């Protein structure tokens, strides 16, 4: 037959282990919240608060734990020498089993969270490693020069190199060194393979004159232009669904921006002289 006095005492100890820390944490959180809302806010807190709040929380938790043990002991004494009904025995068993179940649930929750965190970290490590390999193998712009074919036509020679096979987007623009607005611009897709290659983009002084007149002069005339222009080019990979799924979350937000390590940029000046009559 179950010893009710001992059972209630054990129940008191088990509940003390649960309620004591819970009340201590709740008291500390409540005190910190009240202090922030009504007393100190975002201003520097007095140094006394660093020990006062934990002390109050510790006292509250200790009192709760002692009360739980005392109540279990006192309730068990009532049945030390008397015969208890079956309902009282079931109550004692429930009070002992319930905190054990709570402990098991807490332990299971901690284990599940720890396992999920470890799994997430493993996935993140794999993704970061895959992304590092992706960046290392990505095709990049390795050289850029602009040359005159003749008095009217120019060509930009763009050297590319990398180990990744796949589709890319090459974008370019010509602007003045002193203005950010593009005089002419363009772009196209291209399929690159794991070897060095060269793209050639042709444009003419006629295009530069027309773009300059439209963008810089707003249709004006009577200008002699003799200054360096800038040829800017960028290369970015066209990422498929499989590669996209392997990217770290932070890189998804940076795709297509200048902050993305997958983007490659180059710029070079070249002299321009023409007249807009």
State whether 124 and 163 are in the same domain: no
pLDDT at residue 66 greater than cutoff 60:
yes
Residue 181: the pLDDT is 82
Can you tell me the distance from the alpha carbon of 180 to that of 177, in angstroms, rounded to the nearest whole number?
7
d(CA 194, CA 181): 35
Q: What is the pLDDT of residue 256?
A: 77
Q: What is the DSSP string of 40-86?
A: -TTSPPPTTHHHHHHHHHHHHHHHHHHHHHHHHHHHHHTTSSSPPPH
Q: Could you tell me if 121 and 197 lie in one domain?
A: no
Domain-terminating residue out of 130, 149, 184: 130
The pLDDT, as a whole number, for residue 84 is 59
Residues contacting 276, CB < 8 A, separation 6+: 209, 212, 213, 217, 220, 221, 222, 223, 224, 225
Asked if residue 113 belongs to a domain, the reply is yes
- Together in a domain, 146 and 242: yes
CB neighbours of residue 25 within 10 Å:
13
pLDDT number for residue 175: 92
Over residues 138-159, the mean pLDDT reads 93
Domain containing 149: what range? Answer: 141-276
Which three-class secondary structure state does DSSP give residue 126?
A: helix
Residue 268 sits in the same domain as residue 150:
yes
Are 51 and 151 in a shared domain?
no
Which CATH number do you get for residue 200?
Answer: 2.60.40.10
What would the mean pLDDT of 111-140 be, rounded to a whole number? 87
Phi, psi (degrees; rounded to nearest 5) at 215: -85, -40
pLDDT the model gives residue 145? 95
Q: How high is the pLDDT of residue 190? A: 92
* Residues 244 and 271 placed together within one structural domain of the fold: yes
In a domain, residue 154? The reply is yes
Q: Facing residues of 187 across strands? A: 171
Q: Where are the beta strands (DSSP E) in 118-196?
A: 140-148, 153-161, 166-176, 182-192
Partners of residue 226 on adjacent β-strands: 273
pLDDT-based confidence at residue 80 (cuts at 50, 70, 90): low
Same domain, 181 and 145: yes
| Per-residue confidence (pLDDT) for residue 127, from 0 to 100 | 81
pLDDT at 86: 66
Mean pLDDT of the chain: 87
Tokens of 131: 């992304």
Instruction: Please check whether residue 210 lies inside any domain of the structure.
Output: yes
Query: Do residues 173 and 227 both lie within one domain?
Result: yes
Higher-pLDDT residue of 14 and 90 is: 14
Q: What are phi and psi of 166, to 5 degrees?
A: 155, -175
Q: How many domains, in total, are found in the chain?
A: 2
Say yes or no: 233 and 184 in one domain.
Answer: yes
pLDDT at 151: 83
- For the chain, the C-alpha Rg in angstroms (whole number) is 37
**Mean pLDDT across 133-157:** 92
**End position of a domain, from candidates 130, 155, 190:** 130
Would you tell me how many other CB atoms lie within 10 Å of the CB of residue 201?
A: 18
Assigned domain for 135 exists: no
What pLDDT is recorded for position 251?
80
Instruction: Please check whether residues 35 and 94 belong to one and the same domain.
Output: yes
Which of 63, 62, 78 minimizes the C-alpha distance to 7? 78
Indicate whether 27 pLDDT > 80: yes
In this prediction, residue 241 carries a pLDDT of 83
Instruction: Retrieve residue 169's tokens.
Output: 């987007």
pLDDT band at 74 (very low <50, low <70, confident <90, very high): confident
- Give domain status of residue 136, yes or no: no
Domain boundary among 91, 109, 130: 130
């Amino acid at each position: 037959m179950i010893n009710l006095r001992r059972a209630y005492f054990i129940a008191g100890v088990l509940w003390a282990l649960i309620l004591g820390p819970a009340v201590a944490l709740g008291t500390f959180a409540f005190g910190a919240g009240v202090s922030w809302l009504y007393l100190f806010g975002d201003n520097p807190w007095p140094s006394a608060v660093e020990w006062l709040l934990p002390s109050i929380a510790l006292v509250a938790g200790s009192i709760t734990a002692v009360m739980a043990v005392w109540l279990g002991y006192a309730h068990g004494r009532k049945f030390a020498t008397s015969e208890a009904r079956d309902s009282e025995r079931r109550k004692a068993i429930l009070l002992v089993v319930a905190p054990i179940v709570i402990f098991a649930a807490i332990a299971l929750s901690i284990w599940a969270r720890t396992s999920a965190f470890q799994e997430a970290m493993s996935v993140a490590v794999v993704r970061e490693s895959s992304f590092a390999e992706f960046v290392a193998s990505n095709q990049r712009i390795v050289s850029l020069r602009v040359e005159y074919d003749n008095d009217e036509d120019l060509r930009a020679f763009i050297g590319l190199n990398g180990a990744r096979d796949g589709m890319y987007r090459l974008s370019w623009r010509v602007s003045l060194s002193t203005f950010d607005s593009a005089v002419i611009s363009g772009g196209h897709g291209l399929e690159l393979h794991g070897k060095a290659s060269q793209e050639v983009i042709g444009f003419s002084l006629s295009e530069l004159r027309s773009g300059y007149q439209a963008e810089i002069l707003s249709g004006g005339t009577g200008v002699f232009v003799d200054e360096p222009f800038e040829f800017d080019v960028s290369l970015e990979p066209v990422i498929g669904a499989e590669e996209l799924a392997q990217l770290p979350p932070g890189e998804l937000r940076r795709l297509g921006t200048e902050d993305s390590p997958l983007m490659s940029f180059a710029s070079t000046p070249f002299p321009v002289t023409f007249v807009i009559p």
